[in-house]
Amino acid sequence: MKQTTTFMIMLAFFTLTSFMPVQKKKVIFFGDSITEAGVKPGGYITRISELAAKDGTAAQYDFIGAGIGGNKVYDLYLRLEDDVLSKKPDVVILYIGVNDVWHKRTYGTGTDANKFEGFYNALIKKIQAQGAKVIICTPAVIGERTDSSNELDGDLNLYSNIIRGIAKKNALPLVDLRTAFLEYNKQYNKENKESGILTSDRVHLNEKGNQFVAEQMWKAITAIR
């Protein structure tokens, strides 16, 4: 009798839990126009959803884009509460830095290196304080030439090194898009083109670029425990 009762209790438990909704892991992509475009058809966030579906894990994730064109690290800090923390994410992917470098030349409104590092660290601290995990990314390219002749290569390398240092200091997962893009271009950009390999205009991702970024980020997302 006792064994029958125990069996019935276990059966009821498994029956109830089988009907309980799966708690999805909420992943927010926080960035600029590259991320804003990422949720569109063919965008890197959309492609990450497709990779999850291919792996049979789509039901485990809720992917949310929080990108706004022209944003720099300071802009992310200002809208962190409304656009990210209020949604109670499990994982936040920071993909910022291109405009902090690029806008120095185009508008004179970039971000000094020390301020960039300060705001970046502040973002991480606030996100972690809410209990979410953080993945950080280096900015990829502003021009795809492979001979170091892109005008902003020096600054882009500097800011990427800052992010690498932050990742090392805080033991954070790093998606090093800067290194990945450089290596890809060295292999496939034999004509030393300024764009058209992984970008459409030196910065924003083309079809191959979106797939490339999706694959790099998906590796980091699936490694999170």
pLDDT confidence band for 16 (50 / 70 / 90): very low
Question: Helices marked H in 19-152 — which ranges?
Answer: 33-36, 44-55, 73-83, 98-106, 113-129
CB-CB neighbours of 1 under 10 Å = 5
As a whole number, mean pLDDT of residues 143-167 equals: 97
167 vs 12, higher pLDDT: 167
As a whole number, mean pLDDT of residues 178-201 equals: 98
Q: Are 136 and 94 in contact (CB under 8 A)?
A: yes
Tell me the domains of the chain and their CATH numbers: 22-138+151-176+206-223 (3.40.50.1110)
What is the reported pLDDT for 105?
A: 81
Question: What residue has token string 């004509």?
Answer: 191
Q: Would you state the torsion angle of the CA atoms of residues 57, 58, 64, 69, taken in this order, to the nearest 10 degrees?
A: 100
pLDDT in tens, 156-179: 999 999 999 999 999 999 999 999
pLDDT in tens, 57-94: 999 999 999 999 999 999 999 999 999 999 999 999 99
Q: Say whether pLDDT at 5 is over 60.
A: no
